[in-house]
């Protein structure tokens, strides 16, 4: 039988969710002040934040943004029209479409990320403390199944 969930765990999980939502809302506001819609900022961040050697394909970006393929393509269309990103064909597979940052997009992204890092460094400790409380509260048991997202299983 599973251990009973404590009041402290409910509090810590509620606090964590609140802090994450607040952090995301502040990020949306920071992006808007820089002239970007939140999804546009997230696309630029997804491209720039990929691991070295990982290509920014439409599929990879759609996965990172939790969007459907066609929604990602539409977002990239708008961003390319503004000169923030550029599409190219894959070298080995010409059917593959790769997306890269243009200098204009990189400059805007850097402006937003610099502000986000300042915000995170000043308010991030509470996030870490909430996660710490949840992780320290009891030993891990069997992982529950994750619900599907957008018609596919979440990873």
Domain ranges of the chain: 7-138
Contact 98, 57 (CB under 8 A): yes
Q: Which H or E run includes 87?
A: strand 85-89
pLDDT tens figures, 10-46: 999 999 999 999 999 999 999 999 999 999 999 999 9
Question: CA angle at residue 113 from 112 to 118, to 5 degrees?
Answer: 105
Contact 41, 48 (CB under 8 A): no
The residues, any chain, with a CB within 8 Å of residue 147's CB and separated by 6 or more, are 154
- Whole-model pTM: value is 0.80
**Mean pLDDT lowest for which of 32-46, 93-107, 133-147?**
133-147
The residue behind tokens 């009891």 is 138
Instruction: Supply φ then ψ for residue 15, to 5 degrees.
Output: -65, -45
Mean pLDDT, all residues of the chain: 88
Task: Look at domain 7-138 and name its CATH class.
Answer: mainly alpha
Q: Which of 108, 107, 127 is nearest to 119 (CA)?
A: 127
**Mean pLDDT lowest for which of 62-66, 132-136, 137-141?**
137-141
SS3 of residue 153 by DSSP: strand
């Amino acid at each position: 039988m599973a251990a009973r969930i404590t009041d402290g765990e409910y509090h810590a999980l509620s606090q964590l969710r609140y802090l994450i939502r607040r952090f995301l809302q502040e990020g949306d506001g920071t992006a808007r002040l820089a002239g970007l819609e939140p999804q546009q900022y997230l696309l630029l961040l997804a491209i720039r934040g990929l691991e070295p050697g990982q290509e920014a394909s439409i599929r990879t970006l759609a996965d990172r943004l939790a969007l459907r393929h066609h929604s990602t393509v539409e977002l990239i269309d708008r961003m390319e029209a503004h000169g923030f990103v550029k599409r190219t064909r894959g070298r080995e597979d010409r059917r593959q479409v790769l997306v890269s940052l243009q200098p204009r997009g990189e400059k805007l992204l850097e402006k937003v990320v610099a502000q986000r890092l300042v915000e995170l460094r000043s308010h991030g400790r509470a996030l870490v403390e909430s996660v710490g409380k949840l992780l320290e509260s009891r030993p891990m048991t069997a992982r529950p199944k994750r619900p599907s997202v957008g018609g596919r299983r979440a990873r």
